[in-house]
Structure 1
Amino acid sequence: MTVQTLALSEPLRDYFMQSALREPDILRQLREETMGHRVAKMSLAPEQGALLIFLLRMMGAKRYIEVGSFLGYSSIAAAIGMGPDGEVVACDICDEFTVQAESWWKRAGVDHQATMHLGRGIETLPRLIEEGAAGTFDCMLIDADKPNYPNYYEYALQLVRQGGLIILDNMFLNGRVAAPHEKHPRSVAILHEFNRQLRDDQRVEHCILPTGDGMTLLLKR
């Protein structure tokens, strides 16, 4: 018999949020203000933010990069996890979102730690590599346009140091990856196959967690 992950009922979810989740106040404020946003689902779930903070602290990370910043939840969590001497590099294509993210950085008191690169991640990442950033990051989070996940992953393998962490969000696409069909967007078929490729990729240690919309953790060998 296979032990299955417990689904969170509404009462259990309420208990978790009120009694079992350690969420910094600034992240709670950002999450609550984001709840009414038209694309609020683009933000990390609070338990994912807590996991990111935990992992970065555990590994003593000091340099973090992300593709897809939205309103700043993940980048602020990373700055908190690394402490005041940690460096956050954020990449996003949306000017509207990046302006708000930078505003939240200031409210969180981490704006001196963070740098925003506005533009397509598929262009920003190779430029950073050309500028000498290869192997200098402890952790990279990929949470952007899904069709480019395989490309972002290959850049991540160059940007992250040996023993560093690569995190990919939304690997379940609301469950659609389990049974992709022709009516689904192309991104579903891409992630369906990409999940298998990551499982078999011997360049990394692999773990996928059923948290949020599916979160993959990869340790670069």
Structure 2
Amino acid sequence: PALSVPKEVAVGTAMLGVAFATGMLAGKRCPSFIFGTPSGMIRKNSPLRQYILDHSLREHPVLKKLRLLTAEHPWGRMMVSCEQAQLMANLVKLIKAKKVIEIGVFTGYNALNMALVLPDNGQVIACDINEDYAKIGRPLWKEAGVEHKIDLRIKPAIQTLDELLAGGEAETFDFAFIDADKESYNEYYEKCLRLIKKGGIIAIDNVFWNGKVLKPRKDDLAAQRIHQLNEKLLRDSRVNISMLPIGDGVTLAFKL
């Protein structure tokens, strides 16, 4: 049967293993969990991981500056890993995205990462409830020459998504990245699915939740919600998916 997604996305899906291999494990943000590979396990400080780091990461100088600055922050572990960010940028570029949604900004490392590969008229709608963290990254957005591409909206992300839908922007976005409060993941996913055009991609971060999704505790609502969404995505006929063991786990949902 004919493909229901653009050729670029079909090719991108087929080549995702290559893109993953060249971008995997290049960062220094990750907690002490272990990454799986077909040949075994790669520990955080292993020589092989350092080799991958040295031979895969291509990081813009200003992006690197923001990563290192964020790593010094007490909550620096909230930053998306740079190997994952590189994969996101590659996907955004692959599908020739112009409009992107980011839910969960923190210091703006990934917003900058995606803005750098968007065309000059591209836009990242960056959603967060805390402007203090974003103030760390904003000067570096300007230094990189992409501040005009990042529209930071400080309010609950659900409100921003509802405003976009009410404004007639359904099916006008190319890419969405979800990395905010886990209890709202299903709502974020459903609203992003309405905003993303066919052939677009939704990337959902922390789908492993540091392994807690294997047996979510009754008092761990975040783990429960992530696990529920993981199960839902497996059966969701509206998308094709790939769950990747990169960072704390990321699922890519390709809208059909």
Q: TM-score, normalised by structure 1?
A: 0.93
Whether 2:238 is the aligned partner of 1:203: answer: yes
Whether 2:116 is the aligned partner of 1:75: answer: no
- Aligned ranges for residues 79-90 of structure 1 at < 5 Å? 79-90=115-126
Q: Match of 1:201, as an amino acid?
A: D
- Aligned ranges for residues 1-221 of structure 1 at < 5 Å? 3=38, 6-10=41-45, 11-183=47-219, 185-221=220-256
Is the 2:66–2:137 Cα contact (8 Å) retained in structure 1? no
Q: 1:126 and 1:94 mapped to 2: Cα distance?
A: 19
Quickly say closer, same or farther: Cα 1:159–1:190, change in 2 above 3 A.
same
Q: Match of 2:193, as an amino acid?
A: L
Q: 2:39 and 2:215 mapped to 1: Cα distance?
A: 19
* Pairwise CA distance, 1:100: 2.5
Q: 1:5 and 1:144 mapped to 2: Cα distance?
A: 31
* Pairwise CA distance, 1:147: 0.3
Q: Match of 1:171, as an amino acid?
A: V
Instruction: Compare 162-171 and 101-110 and name the one that shifted more.
Output: 101-110
SS in 1 for 2:101: strand
* Pairwise CA distance, 1:158: 0.8
SS in 1 for 2:229: helix
Is the 1:98–1:118 Cα contact (8 Å) retained in structure 2? no
Q: 1:49 and 1:199 mapped to 2: Cα distance?
A: 24
* Pairwise CA distance, 1:103: 2.4
The residue aligned with 2:8 is none
Q: Match of 2:229, as an amino acid?
A: F
SS in 2 for 1:50: helix
Q: 2:39 and 2:90 mapped to 1: Cα distance?
A: 24
Q: 1:83 and 1:175 mapped to 2: Cα distance?
A: 37
Is the 1:134–1:158 Cα contact (8 Å) retained in structure 2? yes
Give the RMSD, CA atoms, in angstroms.
1.6
Q: Deviations over 1:148-205 (max 9, x none)?
A: 000000100111011111011011111111111235x211111112111111100001
Is the 2:42–2:49 Cα contact (8 Å) retained in structure 1? no
SS in 2 for 1:132: coil
* Pairwise CA distance, 1:43: 1.1
Q: 1:35 and 1:164 mapped to 2: Cα distance?
A: 31
Q: Match of 1:203, as an amino acid?
A: R
Quickly say closer, same or farther: Cα 1:9–1:89, change in 2 above 3 A.
closer
